[in-house]
Amino acid sequence: MFRYLKVHGIGLLYGVLLTGFTVYLLMDTFFISKVYRVAEETEEQNIVLENNQEETMVKTSETSYEDGEISITLTEYREEDTSIYVADIVLSSPEYLKTAFAQNSYGKNVTEKTSEISEGVNAILAINGDYYGAQEKGYVLRNGTLYRSEAEEGQEDLVIYEDGSFEIILEETITAEELLEQGAQELLSFGPALIENGTIAVTEEDEVGKAMASNPRTAIGILDDLHYVFVVSDGRTEESKGLSLLELAEFMDGLGVKTAYNLDGGGSSTMYFNDEVINTTTTNGRSIKERSVSDIVYIGY
């Protein structure tokens, strides 16, 4: 035994170190949380929230919300053997369309459930975002603050400007700093674009990575000035098979959407409205539960 260790010891030690390093890389990539920056709420935001809570007359039901500044109507559709939830949103100001990070922090593997993030920012309505934390590159611009400016080649982003308008851009054609100078307020980096300038931008061949054709989906779209839709579909269950990207685009085109963008889907797809999760959230179809994500898009003060 001693002779064996003497002859092969270096090789065994190398193997142990290599295994340990590999395990660390896997843990670092998928599990170890790293907070790079805390997104602090401003005093002005807190005052606005408190004033609205005290002074606004709110009319709300299971499928609607109205307070004079924000109007939301929730409708459930049944198409392609799938339940689809559409929140029709009309705002008096673009400032009510916002984003938020899990744990109020920009970082790596920093996650919370969509409902938990929503509760933390008093969201009236929310959907999961682009899961920026699972990517090493790609622009991250949220609520007017630039967190990551390293472009991803071929990455198609949704830009939301200060006036509430939408634009689809390719990261390699313009820098995040230039977009910020042009008035970009939010950059969502998942994709692809579903509808651009009123024209469907995907085909039946398009898919995110190697995902199945039919999946739970999350998308955001604009119909007119300060008039938006949040769309989430169920999928991977006996009740709902899910949608392909083309089916999702065709559905949103039928709603009259001018620009639509695909967000993180699958087990991440979640819609939260009036303190409840609206859709059936699942990763594998067997267990119905929320997946923790890195960020949300929401409507609120």
Domain boundaries, the chain: 1-32, 37-299
DSSP-based three-state secondary structure for 55: helix
CB 179 within 8 Å of CB 159: yes
Summarize pLDDT for 115-131 with one digit per residue, the tens.
Answer: 999 999 999 999 999 99
Is it the case that residue 21 has pLDDT exceeding 70? no
Is it the case that residue 56 has pLDDT exceeding 70? no
Is it the case that residue 29 has pLDDT exceeding 70? no
How far is Cα 273 from Cα 279, in angstroms, rounded to an integer?
10
**What are the tokens at 296?**
């949300």
Summarize pLDDT for 206-257 with one digit per residue, the tens.
Answer: 887 656 678 999 999 999 999 999 999 999 999 999 999 999 999 999 999 9
Phi-psi region of 198 (alpha: psi -120 to 50; beta: other; left: phi over 0): left
Which pLDDT score is estimated for 266?
Answer: 95
Summarize pLDDT for 246-274 with one digit per residue, the tens.
Answer: 999 999 999 999 999 999 999 999 999 99
Q: What does each C-alpha distance from 67 to 75, 89, 92, 124, 227 come to in angstroms? A: 19, 12, 10, 11, 16
- Which range among 55-59, 80-84, 130-134, 258-262 shows the weakest confidence by mean pLDDT? 55-59
